[in-house]
Structure 1
Amino acid sequence: MFDFVRRHNRILQFILLLLIVPSFVVFGIQGYNKYSEGRNHVARVDGQDISQSDWDAAHRNQVERMRAQMPGVDVKMFDTPEIRQRVLEDLVRERVVFAAARDLHLSPTEERLDRLFKTDPQFAGLRNPDGSVRKELLAAQGMNSALFAQRLSQDLAMRQVLSAIGLSAFAPESVARAAVDAFYQRREIRVQRFDAREQLGRVQVGDADLQAYYDDPRNAARFQAPESVTMEYLVLDLPAVERGISVPEDDLRKYYGENASRYEQPQERRASHILVKAEAGGPADARARAKARAEALLAEVKKNPAGFADLARKNSDDPGSAAKGGDLDWFSRGAMVKSFEEAVFALKKGEISGVVESDFGYHVIQLTDVRGGERRGFESVRAEIEAEVRKSLAQKRFAETAEQFTNLVEQEDSLKPVAERLHLTLRRVEGFTRGFQPKEAKAEDAAVLASPKLAELVFQSETLAGKHNSQATEIGASQMVAVHVSAHQPARKQALADVREAVKAAVTQARAAQAARTEGEARLAQWKARAPDAASLPAAVTLSRARSQDLPKALVDAVLKAPAEKLPAWVGVDLGGDGYAVVMIEKVLPADVADTGPIDKVRQQYAAMWAGAESEAYLAALRKRYKVEITGKAKAAEEPAGAASK
């Protein structure tokens, strides 16, 4: 049973988890009332409470589903206030839909459930040939047939609440085309840019300007130096454990003897053949004639073995080798069909086989050469064996060494005695911050220093105090770290003298952008009063939401939102630090089918969007009907102690 479950793991994940279980994140219909009474609630739907434990359980289920779909993903990325709040909203949504399904009496009959299960392709992996459910698969998910049927019934009932609206959405061609034309409308424009970079050489900035910019509270965050530490750290991993292991020579030789076959070079053979083609499963008389012909060729070969190549060129039905006298070049075991391979590897060099039958027909084979098959000497593989043995021993000893590492780190007030006792390298780093990216470090050190788990450990209040070592913490597979902080620098605003060049660059850029904006606005007013010759402006381009022509988003949005009843129309666009742009809209063109796709596709997309909007509107009405109240607010993950010192 477990082999079957393992082979069909995706079926379980996608059918049981994604289709059935998520419909009721915590419990089924019976549990809906049973577990919601008499507890502190984070939300209320139709007079029934959703408790904090319900919320937590729903979030755990969500994380487990993500883990099943994306093995190896860091589940911490799903433990954010935004995702937790989304889980609560989804839980409320399910309760609302459930209440509506209950009041509308939408539970399907047993006959419909049975018919659906036996005919729907999505349940094929759960059905036995006779149409019954595979109980072993349900058991692997902690369910029996009755519970599965109950959840399937609940799922279908809830789907009907919104599907009636979603499936009824209809988009006439004229409506869909009008909506798409409005969205994908094209406009032919000419753009004159006033680039801030062209103004940089004309901008004058004084000390008073720098001081004013530096003192402006709106710019304070730009000059903040992050919280940092100077620290020592130790890393315990498999390579570190390996370095402390020595393997006696006798053990290496014993390992070599026990695994001798691993050090044998695979034997290769070179053979030539003559093929008399005969289709497998073909008429018996045709195969008999082919075999007789092969036997006749074999007789000729035995009379004159030196003439094998000539016979192959004239008689072999294998076009790939016939021109080469039947030569198949070098090959090892596994390269040929089984019967052919067995015959070749049973021959001695120069020998000729009997007639060999395969799926291709009948072969006469001559073994022309043999190479390989020798065992590599101990000395040539000694380093390889030692590395394997040390790695194996390190994996076995890591747990024991990790426990020793943890105890020593806890007992000592510095990391130096731990490093000496376990023969580890004590490393030191200055200016370590959250999100630290070392510029000059070995790859393994850089990976450790960039680990979020290390930063979390370093900036705990107990670690920042610097009186003791941190606790030993696992930051990766078979990888532990401990740190000792020797100096802690809280977050602070850097002095103007330290950031003077950055302030000057920012002020200069802002002044240049303002100058470009002033010039652009003046030119816009002039052109609005008296339109220039279009030839004096840059070449026209056709712009749409689908084809932005690599223009800034702010410019694209401004052009497509601008009124264009009277042409030419003029638009001024502030590009922020990049300057300013003046746009002349010359033509308004309908949507291009290359952008929108065929009208049938457009109608489907429009209908889907309209169905989504109507479904959300209906759901909002249901929330009012069933008096939804949400009181729970997701909190951010608890910040490491000491963060308040920023």
Structure 2
Amino acid sequence: MFDAIRNNKKIVQVFLVLIALPFAFFGLESYVSSDGVGADVAKVGEIKISQQEFQQSMREQQERLRSQLGQVDPKMLDNPEFRKAILDDLIDQRLLAMEAGKRRLFANDETVRRTIGAIEAFQQDGQFSNERYEALLRAQGMSPAGFEAQVRQDLTLQQLAGTIGQTGMLSRTVSERILALQTEQREVQEIRLPLEDYLGKVKLADDAARKFYDENSKQFETPDQARAEFIVLSLDRMDAKVSDEEIKSWYDGHKERYQQPEERRASHILIASESVGKDKAKAKAEELLQEIRKKPAAFGDLAKKHSDDPGSAAQAGDLGFFGRGMMVKPFEDAAFTMKEGDISEVVESDFGFHIIKLVAVRAAKEKPLAEVRGDIEAELKTSAAARKFAEAAEAFSNMVYEQSDSLQPAAEQFKLKIEQSGWLGRQANPANGPLANAKLLEALFSDDSVKNKRNTEAVEIAPNTLVSARIVEYKPAALQPFEGLKPTIEKLLVSQEAMKLAKADGEARLAALKGGDDKLSWGSAKRVSRMDARLLPPPAVQPVFRMDTAKLPSYAGIELAGAGYALYRLNKVEAGEKLDDVRRQGLIGQLRTLAAQEEVQLYLNALRGRYKVEINDKALNGSER
């Protein structure tokens, strides 16, 4: 990886939102929503970013990081820097949306349909499922029209960001110079001054360990702990029943949802024009069509041999069943005018030239109640349970607050089991189940909860899941006795002092080397490059590649934390081996990506100057705490 990329502190976060569209279906928020409660966190032009939207975005990012990184210190996910990064991301989205509107950029219906059709969450057996699409949207409280508007907005922002990113120029001279630096070979030799050689030279004062213990007592405290009891109110505990009459009434009132449109199954042979050019691709498609006309049964074999669509070629060209809106328009127009068994003329699309064989037609029909009964029942039960939960959640929250000396009244009212925890610390631990929530732990270890053993507020630890807890036993933080820690402290102090001796010795030797006195017994020569520096310890990589090459040999000294000191002699600098085309293009691609990111960031900085951006620091750092 390039040093410039590795050391870049400001990667354009908005790209993470834009390029991840097919995977970021859940939790999409409106770019221009201004509803919310309390003071707004920021204002971009006339568009507000509410606390509600900011908190929602922050929770989504926190959950995403937890799923990727596992157990994470909650303080890493809720601090001024993290909150500012989330807000900057939202502001960048607003700025791009405003500029896209000003430029009248717009994603067309075909692009929206194609994008939604490619989202795996909406597919069944590899094909887009309208029923699954609508069911998933309903589960998220979204309508197809609302979701499609969000997708259109995302695609529009992609269009703008992509256009701006493409303006980032990477000259051939610059790219060649950077590639040369990445492959450059350096021959170095090393001498290690290991920490162990200096341990025996350290003499600690008799009271050194005691003094360190007294001055750093916080380091030797065992943190406070608590055992708690808790109750969980969740949506899945809501008992919702649906009658046959309700199911029939819903079906009769929403029959338009159960109309299955006409679908067609086709096979195709695609001749892409990218590699051979449009004229040659069309000519090849025409030749294949003539061959198929003579021998229609050979369609599948020809598709396997000649089609440039790898997904369908292996299946003899079979694309399965599809409805209107799922294929590019020229392909769709041809397929839906054909009769079963027909073979089309050559059809041109953005992908190249197609020969289409219509395999089957599935006529439009209305799905009978018996077929969709299970889906309707599940949907009605979910809706009924959600209503019951909303009512219960408010009463639950009030009860644990108003009767804060016990969880028993709420447990009896809502038929919940009072559960017991083991010993808990202030840090979230996934092993603690419902009590692994940072906000709940903060409430549990609050002064009022610890001193008076009151119920915590009802905390939402997950969507449609509330928990209240109270301390039943508490152990305050305690200082570990000095006698048990003395050997560990002395070992630590000896190591620290030995490290100082190693560093002083190393620096003295380095000064002599730079003065021309080189009588050391160096280790064997190592050849390293910026692309492959595995023979060097990580702390030495950057210093070795910063060594002066004007006059060789050149010398450098590196402190190796906890291990000693290392001296390096640079003997030769040579051009690296020529990269093969695959690696070369990969590295140039990384450079272009970085150039595009930097170009977008410069553009966003300019937009901040063009549109008035106001940030409410008090709301940003004080909301929902």
TM-score of Structure 1 vs Structure 2, range by shorter chain? 0.5 to 0.7
**Corresponding residue of 2:451:** 465
Work out whether 1:565 is the aligned partner of 2:560.
no
Instruction: Report what 1:529 is aligned to.
Output: 515
Equivalent residues of 2:23, 2:119 under 8 A apart? no
Q: Distance in 2 between matches of 1:169 and 1:427?
A: 56
Q: Is the 8 A contact 1:196 1:578 kept in 2?
A: yes
Residue aligning to 1:137? 133
RMSD: 5.5
Structure 1 residue 227 corresponds to structure 2 residue 214? no
Letter in 1 for 2:30: F
What's the CA shift for 1:55? 1.9
The 3-state SS of whatever aligns with 1:410 is: coil
**Alignment counterpart, residue 80 of structure 1, candidates 78, 81, 88:** 78
Q: Pick one of 406, 409, 422 that aligns with 1:410.
A: 406
Please give the alpha-carbon distance, in whole angstroms, between the structure 2 residues aligned to 1:59 and 1:468. Answer: 29
Q: Distance in 2 between matches of 1:425 and 1:44?
A: 45
C-alpha spacing 1:592/1:533, structure 2 compared with 1 (3 Å): farther
Could you tell me which residue of structure 2 aligns to residue 606 of structure 1? Answer: 591
For residues 26-41 of structure 1, what are the structure 2 equivalents within 5 Å?
A: 26-27=29-30, 35=34, 40-41=39-40
Alignment partner, residue 284 of structure 1: none
Query: 1:587 is matched by which residue type in structure 2?
Result: K
Show structure 2 runs of 5+ residues with no match: 1-16, 233-395, 409-417
1:430-441 matches, cutoff 5 A: 433-434=425-426
**d(CA) in 2 for partners of 1:146, 1:486:** 53
List aligned pairs for 1:49-198, cutoff 5 A. 49-59=48-58, 80-81=78-79, 84-107=83-106, 113-117=108-112, 123=118, 134=130, 137-138=133-134, 141=137, 147=146, 150-198=149-197
Does the residue aligned with 1:93 lie in a helix, a strand or coil? helix
Q: How many residues align?
A: 422
- Aligned partner (choices 18, 21, 44) of residue 21 of structure 2: 18
1:507 matched to 2:520: no
Letter in 1 for 2:220: F
- Supply the AA of the counterpart residue of 2:21: L
Contact 2:453–2:470 (CA under 8 A) maintained in structure 1: no
- The answer to whether the 8 A contact 2:556-2:567 is kept is yes
1:622 aligned counterpart, secondary structure: helix
8 Å contact 1:25–1:61 — kept in the other structure? no
Classify 1:596/1:590 alpha carbon distance in 2 versus 1 (closer, same or farther; 3 Å): farther
SS in structure 2 at match of 1:98: helix
| Alignment correspondent of 2:600 | 615
- Write out aligned runs for 1:50-449 (5 A): 50-59=49-58, 80-81=78-79, 84-107=83-106, 113-117=108-112, 123=118, 134=130, 137-138=133-134, 141=137, 147=146, 150-214=149-213, 216=215, 219-228=216-225, 410=406, 433-434=425-426
Is the Cα–Cα contact under 8 Å of residues 466 and 485 in structure 1 kept in the other structure? no
8 Å CA contact 2:514–2:555 kept in 1: the answer is yes
- Conservation of the 8 A alpha-carbon contact between 1:186 and 1:590: yes
| Per-residue deviation, 1:576 | 3.2
CA distance in 2 between partners of 1:19 and 1:192 (Å): 52
Pick closer, same or farther for the CA change 1:182–1:507 going to 2, 3 Å.
Answer: same
CA distance in 1, matches of 2:135, 2:527: 61
Structure 1 position 201, deviation (Å): 1.4
Structure 1 position 519 matched with structure 2 position 514: no
CA distance in 1, matches of 2:63, 2:461: 21
What is the letter of the counterpart of residue 551 of structure 2?
A: K
Q: Distance in 1 between matches of 2:158 and 2:166?
A: 11
Q: CA offsets, 1:425-484, max 9 Å, x none?
A: 99997xx644699xxxxxxxx9559964696686354553377899999999x9x99886
Identical counterparts, % of pairs = 25
What is the rounded CA distance, in whole Å, between the counterparts of 2:578 and 2:585 in structure 1?
A: 11
CA separation in 1, counterparts of 2:608 and 2:103? 15
Decide whether the 8 Å contact of 1:79 with 1:637 is kept in 2.
Answer: no
Report the Cα distance in structure 1 between the residues aligned to 2:478 and 2:135, rounded to whole angstroms.
Answer: 55
- Alignment counterpart, residue 538 of structure 2, candidates 553, 557, 569: 553
> Could you say if the C-alpha distance between residues 49 and 575 of structure 1 is closer, same or farther in structure 2, counting changes exceeding 3 Å?
same
On the 8 A contact 2:188/2:569 being kept in 1, the answer is yes
Cα–Cα, structure 1 residues 135 and 627, in superposed 2: closer, same or farther, change >3 Å?
Answer: farther
Give yes or no for contact 1:184–1:596 (8 Å, CA) kept in 2.
no
Residue from 470, 480, 489 that aligns with 2:476:
489
Identify if the C-alpha distance between structure 1 residues 540 and 61 changes in structure 2 by more than 3 Å, giving closer, same or farther: closer
